[in-house]
């Protein structure tokens, strides 16, 4: 993962440092927190795509009618 620079004023970053995390660890955790919603949305889209693909397969193979 590329290194990200976070300002020294970042409260969350400073809290992590005060809890004993290294600067690198604190930066990674802050980055992960900031991007977790993007990952959640991607997983939901992937699940929906798989569901639709399965329904399409059921219809194509006359397992259900539309």
Asked whether residue 45 is assigned to any structural domain, the reply reads: yes
Q: Work out whether the CA dihedral 34, 40, 46, 52 comes out positive or negative.
A: negative
Domain range for 18 is: 11-60
Asked whether residue 1 is assigned to any structural domain, the reply reads: no
Asked whether residue 17 is assigned to any structural domain, the reply reads: yes
pTM over 0.85: no
Asked whether residue 6 is assigned to any structural domain, the reply reads: no
| Tens digit of each residue's pLDDT (9 = 90 or more) over 14-51 | 999 999 999 999 999 999 888 888 888 889 999 999 99
Per the structure, how many domains does the chain have? 1
pLDDT at site 39: 86
Residue 27: exposed, middle, or buried by beta-carbon count in 10 A (0-12, 13-18, 19+)? buried
């Amino acid at each position: 993962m590329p290194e990200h620079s976070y300002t020294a004023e970042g409260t969350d970053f400073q809290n992590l440092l005060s809890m004993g995390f290294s600067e690198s660890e604190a930066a990674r955790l802050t980055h992960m927190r900031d991007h977790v919603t993007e990952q959640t949305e991607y997983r939901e889209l992937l699940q929906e795509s798989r569901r639709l693909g399965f329904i399409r397969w059921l219809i194509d193979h006359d397992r259900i009618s539309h």
